[in-house]
Chain A
């Protein structure tokens, strides 16, 4: 029998031992980054259930260097797997054999145990190779064997919310080189247009942390991509100069919801200052804590509970409606246009089915409250609203992107999905209830009388359309409606500094359009221009105004 055959037999024997005598546990072996840690190997036993037995006591086997072995694994995770004991090559056993507690001053050639962080540092003669796989073994006389697989497993992660777009961290279980004379290259691969495309970024090492190397990119990664970005980092090497190719997926900076019905908060703020007049401030928007999809409250029978508050308030002569409104809170969608099961009788029928375009009727109902913040009137109503979504009128970027992703699942994460689109949804809304506060508004001028408003019943029917259009950084939001006021409503208004009461009924149009251009890629901040024309509840003052301001969406 040749020495080679003997070696193979020994490896197979060792492998058998590992397979039969492994202790279940989750210890992890890795090297920290940075030049100071090139010759250190860390065994992390933080999540290991029997940590105290193996490492906690002075006599525990994990505290004695003689119980450690390191194997080089060839053909890992295959039936051809071989193990070669490389402890002599890698372990630096020149120091004391027992582990030193980190709370004391420990020599660098001694094993150092950190009982707080539950790690043990093992001194090495040579750093681990990135292209190799290793097995670190700890054996105990009564405990059996404990092992941890170690391979480079390089990856790229986003580590800082504030630097998502121009900074990445490269992590690996082996020590990587800390400095590079040549720029490192980061390549983003995506599928757009006719085929695969790439974008290349130059990167430099800006910092070395214990858990990874921080790269600074020469320009920013794209934001608001629907899919994770596929990144390849080349130019990174281990401490021997061997290239380490890294491929990872990174989520891009998320976008603020462009569909305001999914936003937590949206506001438009504006201010005006002029000579000989007081500054004027105004704010419009909505606050909806349970709008975002991840916070949706789903009730039985397909109901969704989604309370919100919308406001339009201002100071001085800002021409705001000065109202706070709580619209209906319950949502129940109905889907139409899908044939029932009887139309699909035989399995073969499935293959001849015609594509359909489902329609969604979003029903909303519940109590509604309107508060006049200027004169103090309150309306309490019951509201029923139906919004109709048709496929032909709903071509948002997410709708189009889903269609592409559905048909191309293999390259779904590579697709550069569209960011442009539009949606239009007609709606019908009925509000019925009453003005529940009798008001007496004092006029302080000489010869004027107070304005009195008694309680009255309210009945209104709205027919309108709302929509959005999005093109790159530009968004247009529209909401136009006709309201038929069946029962006349009394509302206060001011004329020549005297508060008067007007009665409103019949058809009243109202339209509001807002153009926004986003200032950041995540689409949270935008400069906006709004034009509003017509009368709207509860004040029904005639507005024809343009507001320029800052729009904030989260």
Chain B
């Protein structure tokens, strides 16, 4: 997991409580929000809160790429609809990875954590069986 991926997942978690196992890189931000936050519209409160938590993040806060995002890009039809789209824009906030690394990151940004999640998920039932 690279620096940007970690901070984006953390931002999403603090934004609406969605854990990385609940969504994927192609998930739409509006779906993640609407599935977790009852009674508040994504356009009204979700976008504003996402940008608030992004700016509060230690990596994204001082990063120009994060500040170049506008609320309009998160509205339907804008460029920033999915986790992948936001990740792609925030890649510049990382510790200057090589162009090849950036390309591979964009293609498979969450691959490592997915593998870790699979391992975690596989390990959990065994623990439960022991307890019972």
| Chain A residues proximal to chain B, CB less than 8 Å | 262, 293-294, 296, 298, 302, 304, 333, 335, 337-338, 340-341, 344, 347-348, 350-360, 362, 387, 389-391, 393-394, 398-399, 401-403, 405-407, 409-410, 412, 423, 425
One of B29-37, B61-69, B87-95, B96-104 at the interface: B29-37
Q: Which residue of B lies closest to A361 (CB)?
A: B39
Q: Are B17 and A338 in touch, CB under 8 angstroms?
A: yes
Most chain A CB within a 10 A radius of its CB, from B33, B36, B43: B36
Complex contact A402–B35 (CB within 8 A) = yes
B17 and A355 contact, CB distance less than 8 A = yes
Neighbour of B19 across the interface among A304, A350, A393, CB < 8 A: A350
Chain A residues with CB below 8 A from B49, complex form: 302, 335
What is the interface of chain B mostly: helix, strand, loop, or mixed? helix
Taken together as a complex, chains A and B put the C-alpha atoms of A201 and B13 apart, in Å, by: 44
> In the bound complex, do residue A412 and residue B38 qualify as a contact, i.e. CB atoms below 8 Å apart?
no
On whether the beta carbons of A389 and B39 are closer than 8 Å, the reply is yes
Cross-chain contact B13 with A394 (CB below 8 angstroms): no
| With contact pairs A344-B10, A344-B13 given, residues A333 and B30 touching in the complex (Cβ less than 8 Å) | no
> B106 at interface (Cβ–Cβ under 8 A)?
no
Interface size on B, residues (CB 8 A): 40
User: In the complex, which residues of chain A have a beta carbon less than 8 angstroms from the beta carbon of B44?
Assistant: 293, 296, 298, 304
Q: Tell me whether B38 and A351 are in contact (CB under 8 A).
A: no
Tell me whether A409 and B27 are in contact (CB under 8 A): yes
With both beta carbons as reference points, the residue of chain B lying nearest to A391 in the complex is identified as B38
Contact of B120 among A352, A398, A399 (CB under 8 A): A352
Is the pair B17, A337 in contact by a Cβ cutoff of 8 Å?
Answer: yes
29 contacts between A and B (CB under 8 A): A262-B41, A293-B41, A294-B43, A298-B44, A298-B48, A302-B49, A337-B17, A340-B14, A347-B1, A347-B6, A350-B13, A350-B19, A351-B20, A351-B117, A352-B120, A355-B22, A356-B19, A359-B38, A362-B39, A389-B38, A389-B39, A399-B34, A399-B38, A402-B30, A402-B34, A407-B24, A409-B23, A409-B31, A425-B39
Min CB gap B75→A, angstroms: 9
One of A348, A393, A401, A406 near B116 (C-beta < 8 A): A348
Give the 9 A-B residue pairs with the shortest CB-CB distance, closest first. Answer: A394-B38, A402-B34, A389-B39, A409-B26, A403-B35, A406-B31, A402-B35, A389-B38, A356-B17
A352 and B117 CA atoms in complex are apart in Å by: 8
Q: Which residue of A lies closest to B3 (CB)?
A: A347
Residue of A nearest to B34 (CB): A402
A391 CB contacts on chain B under 8 angstroms: 36, 38
Counted as pairs of residues, one from A and one from B, with CB atoms less than 8 Å apart, the total is: 123
| Nearest CB of chain B from residue A55's CB, rounded to whole Å | 33
A294 to B120, CA, bound (A): 41
Given contacts A333-B40, A350-B9, contact A399 B35 (CB under 8 A): yes
On chain A, the residues within 8 Å of B19 by CB distance are 350, 353-356
Check B13 against A398 for contact (C-beta < 8 Å).
no
Question: Chain A residues near B82 (CB, 8 Å)?
Answer: 409
A390 near B38 (CB under 8 angstroms)?
Answer: yes
Query: What's the Cα separation between A358 and B33 when bound, in Å?
Result: 11
The answer to whether B31 touches A350 (Cβ under 8 A) is no
- Whole-angstrom distance between the Cβ of A352 and the nearest chain B Cβ: 6
**Shortest CB–CB separation between residue B126 and chain A, in angstroms?**
15
Residues of B within 8 Å of A394, CB to CB, are 38-39
Q: Is B21 an interface residue (CB 8 A)?
A: yes
Known: A350-B9, A351-B117. A358 touches B36 (CB 8 A): yes
Cβ A351 vs Cβ B14 within 8 A: no
Check B32–A406 contact: CB distance below 8 A: yes
Given A353-B13, A358-B16, check contact A407 B23 (CB 8 Å): yes
Given the complex of chains A and B, what is the CA–CA distance between A406 and B10 in angstroms?
Answer: 17
Closest CB in chain A relative to B124 CB, distance in Å: 10
Which residue from chain A places its CB closest to the CB of B25 in the assembled complex? Answer: A409
Residue of B whose beta carbon sits closest to that of A393:
B38
Contacts of B32 in A (CB 8 A): 402, 406
Please, which residues of chain B bring their CB within 8 A of the CB of A390? 38
B35 contacts across to A, CB distance below 8 A: 399, 402-403, 405-406
What's the Cα separation between A355 and B28 when bound, in Å? 18
Known: A335-B49, A344-B10, A347-B1. 5 other contacts (CB 8 A): A333-B45, A351-B120, A394-B38, A402-B32, A405-B27
- Report chain A residues within 8 Å CB of B14: 338, 340-341
> What residues on A are CB-neighbors of B48 within 8 Å?
298, 302
The smallest C-beta distance from B85 to any residue of chain A, in angstroms, reads: 12
CB distance from A45 to the nearest CB of B (A): 28
How long is the Cα–Cα vector from A302 to B17 in the complex, in angstroms? 19
Which among A338, A341, A398, A410 is the interface contact of B26 at CB below 8 angstroms? A410
Smallest CB-CB separation from A395: which chain B residue? B38
Provide the residues of chain A in CB contact with B26, threshold 8 Å: 409-410
**A351 engages B41 (CB within 8 Å):** no
CA distance A350 to B21 in the complex (A): 9
Nearest B residue to A388, CB-CB: B39
For the complex formed, measure the closest distance between the CB of B108 and the CB atoms of chain A, giving whole angstroms. Answer: 15
Q: Name the one of A350, A405, A423 contacting B28, with C-beta atoms under 8 angstroms.
A: A405
Asked whether, in the complex, the Cβ of A405 is within 8 Å of the Cβ of B31, the reply is: yes
- Is the CB–CB distance between B40 and A362 below 8 Å? yes
B20 touching A360, Cβ below 8 Å: no
**A residues within 8 A CB of B6?**
347, 350
- Nearest residue, chain B, Cβ from A355: B19
Q: Within the assembled complex, what's the spacing in Å between the Cα atoms of A338 and B52? A: 15
